[in-house]
């Protein structure tokens, strides 16, 4: 059993190519003995974005703060904001962008453990 909050979880810049202004935290994951999947949290600075990429793992997301867009494989932008749940299925090209000029965009991104 573990109980934590984001102010207790280390935050590291996302190093992946194509990431702009993204910080990663892992409040629940491998290090805690999670058996199957991890809860990561990404914080995107105003104007920043995650990589526009594709991979064979899914994302299950919950938007914690702010507003932005989820870009689909065709390049279409779908608005998302705090309180939304979103899912990207395996092999679906995608990107999250923070569309605000002033506020952070923060979301839970759950993935199978191997992709933590």
Which residues of this protein are in contact with a second copy, per CB under 8 A?
Answer: 1-6, 27-28, 32-39, 58, 60, 62, 70, 72, 78, 80, 83-90, 92, 94, 108, 110, 112
How far apart are CB 11 and a second copy at their closest, in Å? 14
State the minimum distance, in angstroms, from the CB of residue 99 to a second copy: 14
Q: What is the DSSP string of 12-51?
A: EE--STT-EEEEEEEEESGGGT-SSEEEEEEEEEEEEE--
Give the separation between CA 98 and CA 48, rounded to whole angstroms. Answer: 6
Cβ proximity to a second copy, 15 vs 36, nearer residue: 36
Q: Are 40 and 110 in contact (CB under 8 A)?
A: yes
Task: Give the residue with the Cβ less far from a second copy, 52 or 62.
Answer: 62
Among residues 98, 81, 108, which one has the least CA distance to residue 46? 98
Q: CB of 104: closest distance to a second copy in angstroms?
A: 15
Tell me whether residue 16 or residue 77 sits nearer to a second copy (CB atom).
Answer: 77
């Amino acid at each position: 059993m573990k109980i934590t909050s984001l102010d207790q979880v280390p935050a590291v810049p996302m190093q992946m190519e194509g990431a702009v202004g993204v910080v990663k935290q892992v409040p629940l994951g491998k290090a805690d003995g999670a058996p199957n999947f991890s809860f990561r949290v990404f914080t995107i600075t105003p104007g920043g974005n995650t990589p526009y990429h594709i991979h064979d793992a899914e994302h299950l997301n919950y938007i914690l703060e702010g507003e932005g867009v989820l870009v689909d494989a065709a390049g279409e932008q779908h608005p998302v904001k705090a309180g939304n749940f979103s899912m990207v299925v395996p092999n679906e090209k995608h990107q999250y962008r923070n569309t605000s000029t002033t506020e952070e965009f923060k979301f839970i991104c759950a993935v199978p453990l191997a992709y933590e």
